[in-house]
Amino acid sequence: MISQSAVSQQLSQLEKSFNTPLIDRSRKSFGLTSAGELFYNTCKDVLSRYENFQSSLNYLKNSTKSKISVAAIYSIGMHSLQSYVKKFMKLYPQVHLDIEYLSAAEIYNRLLLGKIDVGLVAVPRNHPDIQVFDFVSEPLVLVCSPHHPFAKKTSIDVSMIQYQPFIAFAQNVPTRNWIDQLLLNYNIAVKPIMEFDNVETIKRVVEINTGISIMPETTIKNELANKTLKAMSFSNEKFTRPTAVIIRKNRAMNDNLRAFVEILRNKNVK
């Protein structure tokens, strides 16, 4: 632990070196001058770059360890990602893919900390330190129980869901905000009777005819095949959910990681 006097001496030395005050001593509480703010932000940037260098250097040192750490939100990891994983494993059987299913917030956090190599998220957000690549554009469909009155339809006007009991994604899930905005474009605001943070729970609740929902079609293929759910497209337009591959900018990539990212970016994988 550094004493207060030692910190004061170091600050004084810095101010002498730069020939400018860094601390505003006219205030009763601690405050930085404009030069102090500039110095502080510059130091943060230097430390961030150094941490990125250390992370990349460690990765290069361990590049002989054929392991790629991947984190995906559950709905992508269990459905859209699978065919890409199979292709990569067929081409690179010596490489171990360590795949975790995490929330979008945790994926962004771990990616920035260098704890994972690749993330897969829905409705990606911009970040200055993250590079985003389009992954799969997933069709969004109306989903209901086979016993629901809508079940006999093959398509439906979005206005018909206005007063229906609705099962929604939780508000902290990016897909929820995306769907809400799509409905708002048609002046429709549903009032969910239940909200969940994962697609599997939503499917189970809809199966027992508690309400309807809007979900990515890729996530209900098994239920459609087993006839435990019914799905229909919207007659108004084709609604989709964007998904993305995310990696940290300026990070070192060995041949295995580069090959995996290229396969994820290849839209022809089946």
Strand, coil or helix: 68: strand
Report d(CA 214, CA 216) in Å as an integer. 7
Whether 251 and 205 map to the same domain: the answer is no
Mean pLDDT, rounded, for 218-233: 96
Nearest 5°: phi and psi at 77?
-60, -35
The string of pLDDT tens digits covering residues 13-56 is: 877 888 888 787 776 666 788 888 888 888 887 877 777 676 66
The string of pLDDT tens digits covering residues 139-184 is: 999 999 999 999 999 999 999 999 899 999 999 899 999 999 999 9
Residues 6+ apart with CB under 8 A from 103: 73, 197
The string of pLDDT tens digits covering residues 47-94 is: 777 776 766 666 555 554 578 999 999 999 999 999 999 999 999 999
Do the beta carbons of residue 158 and residue 185 sit within 8 Å?
no
pLDDT of residue 18: 82
Do the beta carbons of residue 132 and residue 77 sit within 8 Å?
no
The per-residue pLDDT of the chain, averaged, comes to 89
Run of H or E including 264: helix 255-265
pLDDT of residue 32: 81
**Does any domain span residue 270?**
no
Domain that holds residue 18: 4-61
**Does any domain span residue 141?**
yes
Report d(CA 70, CA 68) in Å as an integer. 6
CATH code for the domain of 112 = 3.40.190.10
Number of folded domains that form the chain = 3
- Measured CA angle at 175 (ends 235, 124), to 5 deg: 115
pLDDT of residue 269: 63
The string of pLDDT tens digits covering residues 230-242 is: 999 999 999 999 9
Among 22, 43, 61, the domain-final residue is 61
The token pair at 25 is 């001593």
Whether 154 and 86 map to the same domain: the answer is no
Whether 102 and 162 map to the same domain: the answer is no
